[in-house]
Amino acid sequence: MSSKKICCRLAILVFLATAFSSFAQTPQRDAPFRGQPVRSSLADPAIEQKVNALLKQMTLEEKVGQLVQYSVGTATGPGTGRTGYSEMIAGGQVGALFNVENVQQVNRFQHDAVEKSRLHIPLLIGLDVIHGYRTTMPVPLALASTWDPPIVERAARIAAQEASADGVRWTFSPMVDITRDPRWGRIIEGAGEDPYLGSAMARAYVRGYQGKSLAAADSIAACPKHYVGYGAAEAGRDYNTTEISEHTLREFYFPPFYAALDEGSATIMSAFNTLNGVPASANAFTLTQILRKEWRFPGLVDSDWTSLGELVAHGIANDGKTAAEKAINAGVDMDMESNLYHEHLAELVKSGKVSQGTLDEAVRRALRVKFALGLFEKPYTDESRKNNGALPAESLEIARTAAQRSLVLLKNDQVTGHSVLPLGQGLQKVALIGPLADDAGNMAGSWAGRAEQGDAITLKASLTQKLGAANVKYAKGGDIKNATDAQITEAVAAANDADVVILALGEDAGTMTGEAGSRAHLDLPGRQQELLEKVAATGKPTVLILFSGRPLILPWAFQHVPAVLVAWFPGVQAGPALVNTLFGETPPTGKLVVSWPHAMGQIPLYYNALSTGRPAPKTALTNVPLNGEDKYVSRYVDEQNGPQFPFGYGLTYTQFSFTKPDISAAHLSARKLNEELRKSAGSGKTALTVTASVTNTGKVAAEEVVQLYVGLRGTSVEEPVRALKAFQRVPLAAGETKKVTFDLGSEAFAFWNIQNELEIEPSKANIWVSPDSASGEAVEFEIGE
Ligand code: NOJ
């Protein structure tokens, strides 16, 4: 490497280290007590004045037009095949478009709206910018596995810059659905099973997308989705029914939405699923009672794709007109692709089934977003902003850093006296085997519509660059979904001829993950399990790299393969990130954000569960003997209770030890904590300082994600045995000890009690500071009256 390049790399590393390491504890107001409004830049009197002035000039039809949204270009759902958008836009019949092909087409449509329509109202142009635009970042589940909100914010900022340069000012992201079921394909799009971590990630995305001001040309409006409960689809089958109590909604499913809106998100998307018998896109409890009355969200509710039309299939409307009526009256402002507002809304208002006030309010929300984005002043995108050349070094650095931090090392056993990973620098011959070793397309994961061919670097390309072609024996070993005997035989021969084997196995992102990508079998598809077993039988030290959008159930692999690294789908910098990690330049530091099951029958499996009345010894998730005196406890007779790997788990190339935490007070007062919670909405004074010493007892420097969990007992409703309340990424040199300090606010002890109010109650509290959700020694203290 030239000295100039080294300098540049160092500068970027220093910049990254100072800007993004050790995530500072920002108090989160993610469990608001009733009536605690979200903070929103849309609630601005200057904007309101303009909105009202414009509203006065609008005809009924023009108002309806602002609530109509169509997909043009490549559809991301069942296409409607509609044409003639320009004419409709010029006639004031369209408020928003998405899936527009490029900036030139955006500007042409914007011209129709601004120059030809009577009131010159610009269009809102959206797209699913889910994990990067052209610079494809790791998939969201992987980004969450970094436990590093600042890097997620940077990734979202880059996405916003690239997307806005192509005319997109609104993204349907982040997906903040809490997910406890890896069968659900869309688990890949979210941040996993925990509301605290999910909220931290939600905020990071919104900050990154919306930047300092929505009005900046490189900001895009966020749209947390899918409101609400979609991730709890029964049996993990996409679009399926959900049944979630109000308590569980408030405690687990609402917080990441609240967090995204409180961070200023301008919009939100309603979901497909039925929630407690009422489809989420016609659910007045969630859309009006919670969102508008309790949270006082002033922004736009967009429906999901044809979810208004689907109210008929759900069976709560017998025709499109009734569906439109139910949706708008429940609180859905904009109709994505169903065409029902376009067809029926004016008539519904004329007949009094929908009030003028309801219509006006929905239009106001759409206009607020357009004013906040500065679209009235600057409707067009400067076409010269788009980068048609190579991806810039800084974007690639962020993509690579994010990918490196997202890799989760599940297993790293010793073979002939030392751990398989990191691979030795003097390594001679590597056999690289598997359908995902050289599959650039799959590195992008699902929802990567603007990824460009040629940008992604595969593991094979990077490994060959590192070791030289002569030292990498590549055998594909078949496709993801099938293989021939000859391909498997060739792979086994390559393994036999090598010092070390790297197996790159997993799922096909496009057909097995994401929307409509639910799976009933979470194994390796095709003949990959057979390939794995035959290659492992060679006895060569083997590293299994899993490319997947979810935990896969692979008990054989976890028993027999010495090293297993989860890569998820790492994005454009897949190869460099993996090679840096395999050879120890950047030790893996990702941690699971979902519990990894042993068996299908354990699902749904999540760490923040309640205790049963008959917990198995220690905790309900502890492994128990299958016979003997513990028969009548909550457990399976043929499987452990606990996961294969718990939430928060991930190894690295060193070890850390943790001391039992110290606390600043042995006794807290519930009354005082409640006063503080009400006064400052949980963003105020420190209620308790918790410290623990963490030591890097190994030989290499690495970062540890130090996690703090709270468990409450003696409360009016049962609370999880332990729940994440804070975390920090802590860099530690070999042999170094650091005192890690957490300043907990009152909100860390608040929960939704039996009256469904956010309160702190007298209780016994336990606090763990630990490397994952299943270990650590708790310190106990009292929350008194
Ligand atoms: C349907 C998906 O559920 C949603 O996540 C996405 O944003 C829309 N289609 C638009 O493509």
Closest C-alpha residue for ligand 1 atom 1: 305
Ranges of beta strands (E only) in 532-590 are 542-547, 563-566
Tell whether ligand 1 has an atom less than 6 A from the beta carbon of residue 77.
Answer: yes
DSSP 425-494: TT---EEEESTTTT-HHHHT-SS-TT--TTT---HHHHHHHHH-GGGEEEE--S-SS---HHHHHHHHHH
Percent of residues, the chain, with pLDDT higher than 90: 87
Atom of ligand 1 nearest to the CA of 271: 3
Average pLDDT on 215-230 reads: 98
Mean pLDDT of the chain: 93
CB atoms within 10 A of CB 646: 19
Instruction: Using the predicted structure, report yes or no on whether residue 599 has a pLDDT greater than 90.
Output: yes
Q: For residue 277, give every residue at least 6 positions away whose Cβ sits within 8 Å of its Cβ, in sequence order, or none.
A: none
449 lines ligand 1 (CB under 6 A): no
Convert 659-685 to b/e letters by CB count within 10 Å (16 or more is b). Answer: bebebeeeebbbebbbebbeeebbeee
**From atom 3 of ligand 1, which residue's Cα is the shortest distance away?**
304
- How many angstroms separate the alpha carbon of residue 513 from the centre of ligand 1? 14
**Residue with CA closest to ligand 1 atom 4:** 304
pLDDT in tens, 267-292: 999 999 999 999 999 999 999 999 99
**Position in ligand 1 atom list of the atom nearest CA 172:** 7
* Ligand 1 close to Cβ of residue 225 (< 6 A): yes
Cis peptide before 228 (omega within 30 of 0): yes
Q: Which residue has the tokens 């009030």?
A: 355
- CA torsion, points 68, 72, 74, 78, in degrees to nearest 10? 40
Nearest to 580 by CA among 457, 681, 481, 692: 457
Q: How far is 202 from 179, CA to CA, in rounded Å?
A: 14
Say what the pLDDT of residue 18 is.
35
β-strand partners of 783: 668, 763
Q: 640 Cβ partners below 8 Å, 6+ apart?
A: 598, 623, 624
Atom from ligand 1 closest to the CA of residue 76: 11
CB of 328 within 8 A of CB of 359?
yes
pLDDT higher than threshold 90 for residue 11: no
Rg (CA), the chain: 26
Amino acid at 389: G
- Candidate of 129, 225, 338 to mutate for ligand 1, largest count of ligand atoms within 8 Å of Cβ: 225
The dihedral through the CA atoms of 705, 711, 717, 720 has a sign that is positive
**CA of residue 335 to ligand 1 center, whole Å:** 12
- Residue listed under structure tokens 């600043």: 664
pLDDT score for 5: 41
pLDDT at 424 over 80: yes
Cβ–Cβ < 8 Å for 402, 155: yes
Helices (H), 477-554: 485-496, 509-512, 528-536
Contacts of 653 (CB under 8 A, 6+ apart): 412, 419, 421, 422, 584, 587, 588, 698, 700, 702
Q: What separation in Å is there between the alpha carbon of 304 and the centre of ligand 1?
A: 6
Q: Higher model confidence: residue 696 or residue 75? A: 696
Non-local CB neighbours of 5 within 8 Å, separated by 6+ positions: none
| CB atoms inside a 10 Å sphere around CB 733 | 12
Instruction: Spot the catalytic one: 148, 166, 177, 304.
Output: 304
Residue 395, classed as helix, strand or coil, is helix
Q: Does residue 189's CB lie within 6 angstroms of at least one atom of ligand 1?
A: no
Q: Is 447 in the pocket of ligand 1 (CB under 6 A)?
A: no
| pTM metric for this prediction | 0.95
The whole-number average pLDDT for the span 416-435 is 90
Biggest CA pair distance of the chain: 81
Which of 74, 446, 515 has the most ligand 1 atoms within 8 A of CB, as the residue to mutate? 515
The pLDDT value recorded for residue 31 is 54
Peptide bond into 279 cis (omega under 30): no
Mean pLDDT of 143-147: 98
Confidence bin at 636 (pLDDT 50/70/90)? confident
Q: How far is the CA of 249 from the centre of ligand 1 (A)?
A: 22
The response to whether residue 515 sits with its C-beta less than 6 Å from ligand 1 reads yes
Contacts of 496 (CB under 8 A, 6+ apart): 538, 540
Q: Are 141 and 550 in contact (CB under 8 A)?
A: yes
**In the predicted structure, residue 474 carries a pLDDT above the cut 80:** yes
Counting from 1 in the atom list of ligand 1, the atom nearest the Cα of 99 is: 11
Question: Residue 718's pLDDT is what?
Answer: 98
333 close to 302: Cβ distance less than 8 angstroms: yes
Give the chain's length.
785
Alpha helices for 624-707 (secondary structure H): 670-680
Average pLDDT over residues 234-242: 98
Decide if 304 is catalytic: yes
- Please, which pLDDT band fits residue 618 given cuts at 50, 70 and 90? low
186 pocket-lining for ligand 1 (C-beta < 6 Å) = no
Instruction: For residue 235, give the DSSP letter.
Output: G
Q: What is the pLDDT of residue 582?
A: 98
pLDDT tens digits for 317-338?
A: 999 999 999 999 999 999 999 9
- Looking at residues 728-748, what average pLDDT do you find? 96
Q: Which atom of ligand 1 is nearest to the CA of 173?
A: 7
- Ligand 1 binding pocket mutation candidate from 226, 304, 310, 337 (most atoms within 8 A of CB): 304
Tokens of 250: 């408030």
Residues contacting 7, CB < 8 A, separation 6+: none
Nearest Cα to 362, choosing from 3, 69, 754? Answer: 69
132: left (phi over 0), alpha (psi -120 to 50) or beta: left
pLDDT of residue 623: 52
Q: How far is the CA of 175 from the centre of ligand 1 (A)?
A: 10
14 falls in which pLDDT band (50, 70, 90)? very low
Sign, Cα dihedral of 112, 115, 118, 119: positive
Tell me how far the alpha carbon of residue 127 lies from the centroid of ligand 1, in angstroms: 9
> Relative to the CA of 175, which ligand 1 atom is closest?
5
Q: Is the pLDDT of residue 378 over 90?
A: yes
Q: Which residues pair with 708 in a beta bridge?
A: 726, 769
Instruction: Give the pLDDT confidence score for residue 34 in this predicted structure.
Output: 66
Which ranges in 66-102 belong to alpha helices (H)? 85-90
CA distance 298 to 308: 21
| Pocket mutation for ligand 1, best pick of 100, 187, 305, 335 (most atoms within 8 Å of C-beta) | 305
In 3D space, the residue among 775, 772, 694 whose CA is nearest the CA of residue 732 turns out to be 694
d(CA 682, CA 665) in angstroms, rounded, equals 19
SS3 661: coil
- Residue 28 is predicted with a pLDDT of 57
Please determine, for residue 662, whether its predicted confidence score (pLDDT) is greater than 50.
Answer: yes
pLDDT at residue 481 above 80?
A: yes
Ligand 1 center from residue 305 Cα (angstroms): 6
- pLDDT tens sequence across 390-415: 999 999 999 999 999 999 999 999 98
Q: Hey, CA dihedral for 546, 496, 461, 485, is it positive or negative?
A: negative
pLDDT at 660 exceeding the cut of 90: yes
475 pLDDT band, cuts 50/70/90, is: very high
In ligand 1, the atom with minimum distance to the C-alpha of 230 is 3
**Cα 76 to ligand 1 centroid, rounded to whole Å:** 7
Cβ neighbour number for residue 624 with a 10 Å cutoff: 20
What would the pLDDT profile of 299-321 be if each residue is shown by its tens digit? Answer: 999 999 999 999 999 999 999 99
Q: Rounded distance, CA 449 to CA 11, Å?
A: 32
**CA 590 to ligand 1 centroid distance, Å:** 28
Task: Name the closest-CA residue to atom 11, ligand 1.
Answer: 76
pLDDT digits (tens, 9 = 90+) for 21-54: 334 444 455 556 666 889 998 999 999 999 999 9
Burial class, 506, CB count within 10 angstroms (exposed 0-12 / middle 13-18 / buried 19+): buried
Residue 660 Cα to ligand 1 midpoint, Å, equals 45
Q: What is the pLDDT of residue 32?
A: 63
Task: State whether residue 65 is helix, strand or coil.
Answer: helix
